[in-house]
A and B are shown apart, each in its own frame.
Chain A
Amino acid sequence: MRHPRQRTIHSVLLACCATAALTAQSVEELSERLAGLTAVSGYESEVTDALLEILPEAERDRAGNVVLVLGTGAPKRMIACPIDEWGYIVGAITDEGYLRLRRVGNGAPVLFDQSHEGHRVSVQGREGQIPGVVSIPSTHLMRGRTLPDRPFHVDDAFVDLGASSRDEVRDLGVDLLDAVAIEKLPHRYGESLLAAPFAGERGACAALAYALQQRPAVSGTVVAAFVVESRLADRGLAAVALLQGPFTATRLLGYPEASEDFSAELFGPTDRRELSAMYADLAIETIDLDEVRALAGETVAWMEGR
């Protein structure tokens, strides 16, 4: 049996090596990596696990957020980005082995469901991501008939994993309440564009992660948080504020324009930085990676009080 101290040293060495290797990732690579992961609200472990690899000094708090505290003393400020996405859970499994869905997360666009019809999805099963597809009528068999003009709705969805029975679905490690999301295939085009679902928010989180990797000389204390459940009434952000606050100031990256101000008592004055997004809220939400790099630089400056 290995001595506990040996294990610690080994872990430290591994962490150092991993950090060194991961630090070498550019902000563009970090953006693409995070945009390729899935994090349905309440089911964010794939992204939080990745962030804990990217930032080994960070910790997962009680709410599931990934938090890294830099510096000490006043002023105590927070900077946060959301990591979660709209998606679905398995609501039912039919006798024939198809999954029916229930939506997770508030405020999805009306045509969000339709972007899944006829496309691949992944199911976050007990043994990892399981690929499947959302059924679509065969073109040939629709001849002489028409599909309804209303957009595809989650209640129309059957997810086909290739299984033939409920038991076969469960043998794949898939069961009720598992998260289901569109497959993530980040797509680079143009000179510096990245298209992916939720690219704006993942790009903002990549900027924050990259900024933290630069080990900024912070002014006072900076609590950096990669926040879960933003689409469930911002539960993750609330937890950061209640567990780590109050803050003298807060900067939110990748959050949309809010119609309400946050509690000044907890958050202090709040400002936002958001990446420009073309085709926002679609599977090809597009960001400019040059802008991510600029946001990372601006974030370092903010953390250093410049």
Chain B
Amino acid sequence: MSGGRMPGSARAARPKWRLPRVAAAGGAACLLLLGPAALDAQVDAARIEAVATLLDELVSTYGVSGDESRVRAVVERHLPEWAAPEVDETGNLWVRVGAGAPLVVFVAHLDEVGFQVTDVLADGTLVTRTRGGFFPWLWEATPALVHTEGGPVPGVFMPRDDDVDPPSRRPSGPLRVDVGTRTREATEALGVRTGDFVTNPKKLVRLAGTRATGRSFDDRAGTAAQVLALQALDRDRLQHEVAFVWSVSEETGLTGARAAARALGAETVRVHAVDTFVSSAAPVDLANFAAAPIGEGPVLRGVDNSSVTPRDAIDTLMALAARHDIPLQLGATNGSTDGTPFRDYGAVHVPVGWPLRYSHSPIELIDLVDVVRLADLVRFMAEEW
């Protein structure tokens, strides 16, 4: 080729992070590979599939803190026929079973982190605030769903409009959402209102072996474990009354659990939060604590930011798990759970969970076998302790 050059430098001429609305010239794969090592005599493929199916339904349902009714409805649909669920004034779902003192409470939460619309601007875009703690830049420039009274309205989380050099990891200011309109009136015509909740689309995706990724495993996995435990529960084996609570607004201050504790705390001898064990057994976390590997069983969360479990309770639960050949890990992690408000009434708090990588991100990652075993553990705890 002579007499000119082939086009080779066009790409380098592109802006490094093109800003919105640049007008140019002219105009899941799903894989399941169940390796023999992943399965054992206790956890067969059918049970893993059952957990995956329930969890998929729960994860595909949206419920930012304060907007949990859809998730609550899924839980109610999966409760055994004998259960007599109640919904309290806060929105918590309760199932009480058995009779007599002492009362033992299990609590998992229905809500997830997300965003809420705080303003609809004149240009039709939405200003949001975060609900719960997470890295908001992970949502920057991703698809969005605004959950309106009339159903979800699709949009996108807009990229930052600052163009600092060198660029920062974090955009300045709250994330905004574009629903494809150009005026406030057009946005409102879609049914979008201040106070609506916003998420990105989510689903459960199977990874290698028995692992899966998705958003809101915290605490849909705990929610599922309680449902499965209740489905398998032998009520004749109960030695006292047990309350299963699915709470609201855990991520924004344990609001639902505080209400449950006000109602039940004085008579509760022991509480078990069934919630995420945030694991540091991941490539980008410091493994100086919380290093419970995924796939090696549920975890007794002995210490966190607001709870220390007494050693004798730890020993009792470890022995119970051993009797049932459930590999129970022991660890400390960060965060608080719905058991905390019950501590204020003197209840012993023995939280249990499953190890999870990449907490409060769009890619939380778990091993489904851990959830199966957690459901078994919750069931045996209710029946025998």
Name A's B-contacting residues (CB within 8 A). 94, 96, 98, 105-107, 109-111, 114-115, 117-120, 122, 128-141, 143, 147-152, 156, 158, 160-164, 168-169, 171-172, 183, 185, 187-191, 193, 195, 200, 230-231, 233-234, 237-238, 241-242, 255-266, 272-284, 286, 291, 294-295
Contacts and interface: CB of A to CB of B under 8 A. Distances in A.
A193 B141 CA distance: 15
A241 B1 CA distance: 10
B323 interface: no
Contacts, number: 287
A164 B208 CA distance: 9
Nearest to B283: A158
Nearest to B138: A118
A185 B159 CA distance: 18
Contacts of B314: none
Nearest to B168: A149
Interface string B164-207: 00111110000000111100000000000000000001000111
Contacts of A286: 156
Interface in B133-170: 133-135, 137-138, 141-143, 153-159, 166-170
Interface stretch (B29-37, B89-97, B229-237, B262-270): B29-37
A170 to B, nearest CB: 11
B25 A131 contact: no
Interface in B271-323: 278-280, 282-286, 290, 295, 305
Given A163-B209, A260-B7, A283-B142, 9 more contacts: A120-B363, A136-B138, A140-B359, A148-B169, A168-B35, A187-B201, A191-B180, A233-B6, A234-B6
Contacts of B282: 135, 137-138, 160
B141 A279 contact: yes
Nearest to A255: B10
Main secondary structure of the interface of A (DSSP, over half): loop
Nearest to A134: B363
Contacts of A264: 3-4
Interface in B339-373: 356-363, 365
A190 B180 CA distance: 4
Given A149-B168, A233-B6, A172 B138 contact: no
B365 A139 contact: no
> Which of A94, A136, A231, A234 has the most C-beta atoms of chain B within 10 angstroms of its own C-beta?
A136
B14 A109 contact: yes
Contact of B9 (A141, A187, A260, A272): A260
Contact of B28 (A134, A150, A183): A183
B186 to A, nearest CB: 9
Interface stretch (B16-24, B62-70, B71-79, B104-112): B16-24
A265 B21 CA distance: 36
Contacts of B169: 114, 147-152
B211 interface: yes
Contacts of B154: 187-189
21 contacts: A107-B12, A110-B17, A115-B141, A118-B361, A130-B29, A132-B207, A133-B207, A136-B284, A138-B279, A140-B133, A141-B278, A143-B334, A147-B135, A158-B283, A160-B282, A162-B209, A185-B28, A256-B24, A260-B7, A274-B25, A282-B18
A164 B295 contact: yes
Contacts of A129: 29
A261 B4 contact: yes
B102 interface: no
B100 interface: no
Contact of A131 (B9, B181, B207, B280): B207
Given A120-B363, A242-B1, A278-B21, A138 B13 contact: no
B143 A187 contact: yes
B60 to A, nearest CB: 14
> Which of B13, B23, B142, B154 has the most C-beta atoms of chain A within 10 angstroms of its own C-beta?
B142
B335 interface: yes
A138 B156 contact: no
B24 to A, nearest CB: 4
Contact of B362 (A106, A119, A161): A119
B365 A295 contact: no
B290 A259 contact: no
A289 to B, nearest CB: 12
B107 to A, nearest CB: 18
A106 B11 contact: yes
Nearest to B304: A140
Given A234-B6, A283-B141, A161 B208 contact: yes
B277 to A, nearest CB: 10
B27 A266 contact: no
B116 interface: no
A169 B278 CA distance: 24
A258 B5 CA distance: 12
Contacts of A134: 363
> Which of B8, B23, B179 has the most C-beta atoms of chain A within 10 angstroms of its own C-beta?
B8
Contact of B16 (A110, A135, A148, A291): A110
Contact of B358 (A138, A258, A261): A138
A276 B157 CA distance: 19
A161 B207 CA distance: 6
B138 A119 contact: yes
Given A130-B31, A162-B365, A172-B33, A185 B207 contact: no
B41 to A, nearest CB: 20
B61 interface: no
Contacts of A231: 11
B302 to A, nearest CB: 16
A291 B305 CA distance: 54
Given A128-B29, A129-B29, A256-B24, A136 B141 contact: no
Contacts of B159: 279, 282, 284
Given A122-B29, A133-B358, A286-B156, A265 B3 contact: yes
